Structure 1
């Protein structure tokens, strides 16, 4: 129908679904199986009691990880909405949970792509005739540099200080050119900037057409890392010293189970690894068809995630065992986590192997593909939620691509400070405070209280039965009502009690203003939940009791059957809202 000026209005595009069940499984698998499985879980195992660490890990998997994974996927598939607008249908009072989760996603996407840029730079250097971190004959090396690939003795001392490996100096002096502190930001690292631009371009074109493009890209990005991981695993286990490395990784120390810090780290690892609390699973589940068996999918995907973490430990510690064997030092001295593993310890071990360029390429290709899945899914989550908030505006032809470009450019210019000479200090602040595991613990506490007690665990149980035809275990209902919120809240309180201020390499202490800024970033996501609830209560109509009661009522009174949903879809978007509203 033409408007009064005779112009035909732009059509609103359909929200769409995954092209196939396999696309959904690959996208979720690619998102939850990320860098943390490779560079954090193995280190946490070794650090917190080896095989004994699996006890608190499995406790959190059963009480929090799987129940929350199922919960978020279910509400996304049920509402067919993003992680913000879904709360308007389930519990409007709790819409701040969606905003808080998205703020964490925004922080995480800004830091995650920096890691990908570093990995891309290392990948480029991997094609050199000699790996630049394999020797001390470079302009950035100092007299303290030691080439471990050329010796088998223990670390020597030079000028009274502990020597630095060639890999460490390449990382700190060549890639980062790190300054003495956050007060000295310095200049931009142009090589890292070039890699950052390349990664943003790749991510943009992975997401720009929505699930149509995302669902196709994951056929490669979600599967090929497993080929690389298997290759590195086989190679690692064949190296001398691998047996000692694996034993060190899994050797149980049951005394560590009495340390609350072990349980806190197991909990935060689960919440990060399973991508719960931030709305990612809600968005991905919302592109499923109504009768998809999300119950079975969630169980398999959780098993895949934890299984990958466990297997990755063998690939990592077999190589670290080889590295310790070659240097003649204890494995504890070469075991690293996070960037230290990916950009110092593992590259240093690769430099000691035959055909180091080949193994370096394999390792960094695996890191990039693992990170890419998580990065562009985070971007898709933000885009979907915004499009669902403003469908009449954002779903018109060309609007998505333009807004996605605006989003990418905004993040890009905001994170330039992280690729300066002092950028590593800023990066660590974002990673330690803005993406803090304690924030996720509290958000998940709010989430389970809102859905389990206000929306109703029985109603959720019925929704799963209606959509999948499967009666879920009653244990999940018990978790949503009691176990998950209690465990999450208890872990949050313990993490505050055990809080340690951020330092860099245990040497550099941040100034007071940096810690204050860090706490502002940490609180920014948490305070959105009570802040939004208070705002809605103050701006509503009626008495305070009436406002509270109204905001706790779901908009959809009962889940539509598949036949009814098809009828509503056929009647069109204009008829859908009044018929489904309570």
Structure 2
């Protein structure tokens, strides 16, 4: 790997950033490979993390969970899981990335026997990149359709509409919601299902790729490639726009939503607490999984972003700011979304609960319906879907950067030579695009839901969070890691994070993981229940990453020489560079000789 220079690095209590040495040669007379990059300034790190954490989940998932799980009362389990789980893990991942200066796999030289965590999170990141970008493909297609007046999903006179299509709204066709035929469908639903998705009857009817979605998916991958192909030199500049524009749009949409008739109904519904929900275990599961998903924990991306920091960057201050911004954005998005849902409910003469949707339904059904009812509807539609595009882009390219960084840091002598890194990113993008074609078929939305539920959220993230805490707090040593943080930042942390990493966070993640297993039921998409074979396929997607930790742990332990005690000592001894060790740490000569 590219070591940080032990000669010019700071003393144990130093406060100056340690410069990195020039890139070495592969071997005498061989080609040089590039020096590992760092952020040009701290703002690029902050905006990149903000762009990744603040994504589509803040806009569609958090508001829905609030309304579903007791409104304002949901903030109690949310904040509990935030301070005991999400924030401590966020600090831990950024901290170990900055300390080691390595990506998601090689960072586990900190505790070699748990390197399976790195390989597993890299697999999760790869799977996430395949399906998350499909949302961008949907959003791009909607944005292109938005340059029409009237909006194509506002009327029932299109080729994809059925005889049961009805606009429902009194403001559009002059009828009351109760006057329409039984079984009538909204044009925005038909536009989404029949035109955008061309949805089939189930996952067993995958069908063929939809050519328009294939083109928008290709366009999305082209944009991602040219954002990340030069590393953080290019992506670090893009975030100045992609991380800030959504806030401008959310503010504009809140002002517009708050001035719509019925907006107050939606906001009241959003905030009204139902404390009886707090005794339901599912509420706490939803809070925990939302926290870990919204903070992008256990994907390797936070570690990668932290690894590009200078060694003495005060990441504690940065992470504190980012944690506050992330959670406030979720709360703020709830006001934006429910002001619009209140307007929709009043226009259609139905309760707010009847128009509140989760997941893609909120972004591609509820909100398009709302903008179709507004004056200057095409303008608001273009702005909304452009906001979704920027929210998705910065989340996607940071996830891709996290995956690429993890692999490149394992093989720097090969992938940092010449333009090989760019070619590796091109190959990764091409392979991901080809696999993603299954997600833009007639049955693609069912495949998408399977990926989303099993491969990169929920139980999988909780599993990896648990083992990250065990590896750092119990094997590497929480006290030692506190020393490392003091070495980097020049100040000592309070006891709270130590308590969380050692006890509270592993207990929380284990409890939610076990209860999720105990209460698991077959996956659903709207009213469609997945067949047993599809649910089994989902579990295979989850197990691909989950089993890596125990398999690698056992393989590494069995391969080491000596007695069991000697093996344990060998495989848990950190591979630290001179400036990363405490004064009492001994050089790990034996480990390097063994190639461990």
**TM-score between both structures, scaled by the size of structure 1:** 0.93
**Alignment check: 8 A CA contact 1:438 1:492 kept:** yes
**Pick aligned residue for 2:531 from 508, 511, 519:** 511
**Alignment check: 8 A CA contact 1:82 1:286 kept:** yes
Matched, 1:123 2:146: no
Matched, 1:146 2:166: yes
1:61 deviates by 0.7
**Alignment check: 8 A CA contact 2:522 2:532 kept:** no
**Pick aligned residue for 2:121 from 77, 92, 101:** 101
Q: Secondary structure at the match of 1:547?
A: helix
Map 1:390-405 to 2 at 5 A: 390-405=411-426
**Alignment check: 8 A CA contact 2:455 2:541 kept:** yes
Q: Secondary structure at the match of 2:472?
A: helix
1:400-426 deviation line (CA, Å, top 9, x unaligned): 011111100111111111111111111
1:269-296 deviation line (CA, Å, top 9, x unaligned): 0000011122211110000001100011
Map 1:257-272 to 2 at 5 A: 257-272=278-293
What residue in structure 2 maps to residue 41 of structure 1? 62
**Alignment check: 8 A CA contact 2:469 2:506 kept:** yes
1:230-255 deviation line (CA, Å, top 9, x unaligned): 11111001110001100000100000
Inter-partner Cα distance in structure 1 for 2:69 and 2:46 = 32
What residue in structure 1 maps to residue 192 of structure 2? 171
Inter-partner Cα distance in structure 1 for 2:434 and 2:546 = 25
What residue in structure 1 maps to residue 217 of structure 2? 196
Q: Secondary structure at the match of 1:145?
A: coil
Inter-partner Cα distance in structure 2 for 1:325 and 1:516 = 42
Inter-partner Cα distance in structure 2 for 1:416 and 1:550 = 45
Q: Number of matched residues?
A: 560
What residue in structure 1 maps to residue 373 of structure 2? 352
Matched, 1:556 2:579: no
What residue in structure 2 maps to residue 541 of structure 1? 561
Inter-partner Cα distance in structure 2 for 1:557 and 1:545 = 24
What residue in structure 1 maps to residue 400 of structure 2? 379
1:497 deviates by 1.6
What residue in structure 1 maps to residue 541 of structure 2? 521
Inter-partner Cα distance in structure 2 for 1:272 and 1:141 = 36
Q: Secondary structure at the match of 2:177?
A: coil
1:99 deviates by 1.2
Tell me whether 75-84 or 494-503 shows the greater mean CA deviation: 494-503
1:155 deviates by 5.0
Matched, 1:61 2:82: yes
What residue in structure 2 maps to residue 327 of structure 1? 348
**Alignment check: 8 A CA contact 1:436 1:522 kept:** no
1:430-456 deviation line (CA, Å, top 9, x unaligned): 111112311111110011011001001
Inter-partner Cα distance in structure 2 for 1:293 and 1:153 = 59
Root mean square deviation, CA, Å: 2.0
1:542 deviates by 2.1
What residue in structure 2 maps to residue 110 of structure 1? 130
1:340 deviates by 0.3
1:152 deviates by 5.8
1:483-510 deviation line (CA, Å, top 9, x unaligned): 000011011111112212112212x222
Matched, 1:293 2:328: no
**Alignment check: 8 A CA contact 2:560 2:570 kept:** no
Inter-partner Cα distance in structure 1 for 2:338 and 2:579 = 48
**Alignment check: 8 A CA contact 1:52 1:254 kept:** yes
Q: Secondary structure at the match of 1:277?
A: coil
**Pick aligned residue for 1:318 from 335, 339, 346:** 339
What residue in structure 1 maps to residue 19 of structure 2? none
1:148 deviates by 3.1
What residue in structure 2 maps to residue 227 of structure 1? 248
Inter-partner Cα distance in structure 2 for 1:399 and 1:343 = 39
1:558 deviates by 7.3
1:156 deviates by 5.0
1:511 deviates by 2.1
What residue in structure 1 maps to residue 25 of structure 2? none
**Alignment check: 8 A CA contact 1:152 1:328 kept:** no
Inter-partner Cα distance in structure 1 for 2:108 and 2:504 = 22
1:532 deviates by 0.7
Inter-partner Cα distance in structure 2 for 1:381 and 1:534 = 26
Inter-partner Cα distance in structure 2 for 1:510 and 1:279 = 30
Inter-partner Cα distance in structure 1 for 2:369 and 2:326 = 28
1:84 deviates by 0.6
**Alignment check: 8 A CA contact 1:467 1:561 kept:** no
1:470 deviates by 1.9
1:561 deviates by 8.6
